[in-house]
């Protein structure tokens, strides 16, 4: 066996370094060429000065904010809400619209079902005077309007209600018995390919409401499916399944529904969490009710039998009486809500309020450091 020449390892190391330098130079040239052709920011290293935090808007429900894991609906993403009829899908969407408007944002509502109730929307906190509303004639028209609104960069949330009602033009112009296989699926697939990039760039929330259909002849497994093909399932960052669990009664009168919202898909936090909320007729999600439920779960409010008590004070027998007490005592309600947020770790979630508060605190800290540095000099 011939012994290795001295300095062989050093030569190999030098060759490796030369190859690595050439590769880095080639990469730098490629990056310059890409930026020249497609504009600055078209490609970058993930560690460069880019805000990697997921900015969110509250859903208007504490329980749902917690279940989503990031404190609300993430900006620049596609959300799908689906479920049976009258389960609360539109209510959740309208609460999200109200939250966007509260923070000074602009909301648009594409009402393909022609079922928008301004009175109910107003009761949920939506400013109907500022809400942009469109009732398109065809699916193509509705999605083109959505694309124009998203591309403008001036709208914070676009709600499409619903995917099932986005009827292709060919189907509207055709006869009643005509078969139009896969038309709507192709329409949705094309629209989402076009929309996804601009939604991310403009940080607009695109919220699609969808219905449920049943597959024919399914013997095993879940026969339920959502219309509009598979594209929306793939493009959606979050998919929420909304179902009524039980009726809420005041004596013999039905006053609302106890609703279960399951996070079926979540790309920004662990999925499969469940939020349970009370949706009251004419009022939407009962925020007092969910504060009470979440507080009882963390022993902030004690529940013994049908009695609720906070500290040494009994606040009501039965949930409705306890809710009425909290509504009459907003200071106690605010105190319990703050404790609930802390107990569930929601103060650290990247909601608009938390991000702004953190930025203000960081700015103040920088100013203090600058002042102390000047004084030392």
Predicted local confidence at residue 40, as pLDDT: 77
Stronger pLDDT, 176 or 146, i.e. the higher one:
146
One fold for both 56-285 and 287-345? no
Rounded CA-CA distance 127/331 in Å is 26
Predicted local confidence at residue 237, as pLDDT: 96
Predicted local confidence at residue 194, as pLDDT: 94
Cis peptide before 106 (omega within 30 of 0): no
Please tell me what DSSP assigns to residue 278: E
User: Annotated binding residues for ATP, as ranges?
Assistant: 83-90
Predicted local confidence at residue 311, as pLDDT: 87
CB 226 within 8 A of CB 210: yes
Helix or strand holding residue 58 (H, E): none
Architecture of domain 287-345: 2-Layer Sandwich (3.30)
- Tell me the percentage of the chain whose pLDDT exceeds 70: 87
Above 70 in pLDDT, residue 17? yes
Stronger pLDDT, 18 or 242, i.e. the higher one:
242
10 Å CB burial of residue 296 (0-12, 13-18, 19+) is middle
Question: Which conformational region is residue 12 in: left (phi greater than 0), alpha (psi within -120 to 50 degrees), or beta?
Answer: alpha
Rounded CA-CA distance 174/172 in Å is 6
| Mean pLDDT for all residues in the chain | 88
pLDDT tens digit sequence for 252-311 = 999 999 999 999 999 999 999 999 999 999 999 999 999 999 999 999 999 988 899 998
Rounded CA-CA distance 138/35 in Å is 39
Above 70 in pLDDT, residue 376? no
Above 60 in pLDDT, residue 49? no
Predicted local confidence at residue 129, as pLDDT: 97
Above 80 in pLDDT, residue 366? no
Predicted local confidence at residue 352, as pLDDT: 57
Which candidate, 209, 208, 185, 206, places its Cα nearest to that of 83? 209
Split at pLDDT 50, 70, 90, the class of 374 is: low
Split at pLDDT 50, 70, 90, the class of 168 is: very high
Predicted local confidence at residue 12, as pLDDT: 63
Rounded CA-CA distance 154/114 in Å is 24
Average pLDDT of the residues in 354-370: 61
Stronger pLDDT, 345 or 13, i.e. the higher one:
345
- Tell me the percentage of the chain whose pLDDT exceeds 90: 67
Query: How many other C-beta atoms are found inside a 10 Å radius of the C-beta of residue 219?
Result: 5
For the four alpha carbons of 5, 9, 14 and 18, in that order, the dihedral sign comes to: positive
Question: Which conformational region is residue 88 in: left (phi greater than 0), alpha (psi within -120 to 50 degrees), or beta?
Answer: left
- Residue 123, both tokens: 């009761």
User: Annotated binding residues, as ranges?
Assistant: 83-90
Predicted local confidence at residue 29, as pLDDT: 92
Predicted local confidence at residue 216, as pLDDT: 87
Stronger pLDDT, 103 or 2, i.e. the higher one:
103
Q: Taking the model in full, what pTM does it have?
A: 0.82
Q: Where are the alpha helices (DSSP H) in the chain?
A: 8-38, 62-68, 89-102, 118-123, 139-152, 169-173, 183-202, 231-235, 287-297, 319-328, 330-343, 352-376
Residue ranges covered by each domain of the chain: 56-285, 287-345
Average pLDDT of the residues in 182-186: 92
How does strand 238-250 pair with strand 157-161?
unpaired
Split at pLDDT 50, 70, 90, the class of 312 is: confident
Predicted local confidence at residue 273, as pLDDT: 95
Predicted local confidence at residue 284, as pLDDT: 95
CATH number for the domain formed by residue range(s) 56-285: 3.40.50.300
Above 90 in pLDDT, residue 76? yes
For the four alpha carbons of 275, 67, 331 and 100, in that order, the dihedral sign comes to: negative
Rounded CA-CA distance 238/254 in Å is 31
Compute the half-sphere exposure of residue 10: CA atoms within 13 Å on the CB side of its CA: 3
pLDDT tens digit sequence for 115-129 = 999 999 999 999 999
Above 80 in pLDDT, residue 48? no
């Amino acid at each position: 066996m011939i012994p290795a020449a001295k300095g062989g390892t050093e030569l190999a190391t030098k060759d490796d370094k030369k190859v690595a330098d050439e590769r880095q130079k080639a990469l730098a040239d490629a990056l310059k060429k890409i930026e020249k052709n497609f504009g600055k920011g078209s490609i970058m290293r993930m560690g460069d000065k880019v805000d990697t935090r997921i900015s969110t808007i509250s859903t208007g429900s504490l329980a749902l904010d917690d279940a989503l894991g990031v404190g609300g609906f993430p900006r620049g993403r596609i959300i799908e809400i689906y479920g049976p009829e009258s389960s609360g899908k539109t209510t959740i969407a309208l609460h999200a619209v109200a939250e966007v408007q509260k923070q000074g944002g602009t909301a648009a509502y594409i009402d393909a079902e022609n079922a928008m109730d301004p009175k109910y929307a107003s009761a949920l906190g939506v400013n109907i005077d500022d809400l942009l509303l469109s009732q398109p004639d065809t699916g193509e028209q509705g999605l083109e309007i959505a694309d124009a609104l998203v591309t403008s960069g001036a709208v914070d949330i676009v709600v499409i209600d619903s995917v099932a009602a986005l009827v292709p033009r060919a189907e509207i112009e055709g006869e009643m018995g005509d078969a139009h296989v896969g038309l709507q699926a192709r329409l949705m697939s094309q629209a989402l390919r076009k929309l996804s990039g601009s939604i991310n760039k403009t940080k607009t929330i695109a919220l699609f409401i969808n219905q449920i259909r049943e597959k024919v002849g399914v013997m095993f497994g879940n026969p339920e499916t959502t219309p509009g093909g598979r594209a929306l399932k793939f493009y959606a960052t979050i998919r929420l399944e909304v179902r009524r669990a039980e009726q809420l009664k005041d004596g013999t009168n039905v006053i609302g529904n106890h609703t279960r919202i399951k996070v079926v898909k979540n790309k920004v936090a662990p999925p499969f969490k469940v939020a349970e909320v009370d949706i009251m007729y004419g009022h939407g999600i009962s925020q007092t009710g969910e504060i009470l439920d979440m507080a009882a779960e963390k022993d902030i409010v004690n529940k013994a039998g049908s009695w609720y008590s906070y500290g040494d004070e009994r606040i009501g027998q039965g949930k409705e009486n306890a809710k009425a007490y909290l509504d009459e005592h907003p200071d106690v309600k605010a105190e319990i809500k703050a404790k609930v947020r802390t107990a569930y770790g929601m103060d650290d979630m990247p909601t608009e309020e938390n991000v702004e508060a953190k930025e203000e605190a960081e700015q103040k800290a920088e100013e203090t450091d600058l002042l102390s540095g000047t004084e030392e000099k």
